[in-house]
Amino acid sequence: MSHAANEKILALAGIFQATRLVQNVATTNSVDEKAFETSLQSILESDPPNTLAVYGGSTEGLSLGLKLLQEQFGEETDKRDMELTKYIVTIMHLTGKLTKNRAMLATLSNGIERVRAQTEHYPVTHENVVASIADLYVNTISNIKPRIIVNGEQGYLANPDNANKVRALLLAAIRSTILWHQCGGTRLQLMFKRKFIAQNAGEFLYNAADSD
């Protein structure tokens, strides 16, 4: 697998992971803590030496996303989650609009700097930090149409902490989408390189297991 292909697979796994965590919060009131931390931390990595560094320097924190790539792009169609696909299509559409809005990008950049300063005192998963990321999402991405409508248990979604987690994770998904585009990812690749994506996600998982 080429270096460029590596980069795209990792960023794509980041998109799928953050989006699945949104679903988990909304429907089960829970998240995989390692995956959650990795997704949120990716928002703060604005000048990484490589794509893997965005996700903590190893594939450990991206295992959820890599497994999803195997399922979503593999040959077993019964394992595919169409709701997840719909969310990601909307996220990619919003990201395309965001990247053309320089003022909003500047607002996001400034807000991320403030969150980064906050993590000097709290872990990135602390409720105060998550709330700050969520506020940043509300003041920027939420103003772009169409808005992402998250389905789930109303009791879970009405919980302020869960609402903040959902918004913070949506921003993480958008951050990974921007990275994926920067690595050369395109919509056509998602349509015509399904087998390639599934196989290479599997290679990452196999190599990670082999190194344990």
DSSP labels, 26-58: HHHS---HHHHHHHHHHHH-SS-SSHHHHTTTS
Asked whether the beta carbons of 5 and 133 are under 8 A apart, the reply is: no
Dist CA 75 CA 78 (whole Å): 9
Tell me, what DSSP letter sits at residue 147? P
Instruction: Indicate left, alpha or beta for 76 from its phi (over 0: left) and psi (-120 to 50: alpha).
Output: beta
Q: 149: helix, coil or strand?
A: coil
The set of residues, in sequence order, having a beta carbon less than 8 Å from that of 45 and lying 6+ positions away, is 53, 54
Residue 125 tokens, joined: 């998963």
User: CB under 8 Å to 208, separation ≥6 — which residues?
Assistant: 58, 59, 60, 63
- Under-70 pLDDT residues of the chain: 1-2, 210-212
Euclidean distance between CA atoms 196 and 204, whole angstroms = 13
Q: How does pLDDT run across 73-130, given as a tens digit for each residue?
A: 999 888 899 999 999 999 999 999 999 999 999 999 999 999 999 999 999 999 999 9
CA distances from 62 to 114, 152, 159, 166, 173 (A): 25, 24, 27, 18, 13
Handedness of CA 95, 89, 138, 33 (dihedral sign): negative
3-state SS track over 96-119:
HHHCCCHHHHHHHHHHHHHHHHHC
Q: Which domains, ranges and CATH numbers included, belong to the chain?
A: 3-210 (1.10.3890.10)
Q: What is the reported pTM?
A: 0.96
Q: Would you tell me how many other CB atoms lie within 10 Å of the CB of residue 75?
A: 8
Q: What is the pLDDT of residue 3?
A: 72
Please provide the distance, in angstroms rounded to a whole number, between the alpha carbons at the two ends of the chain. 21
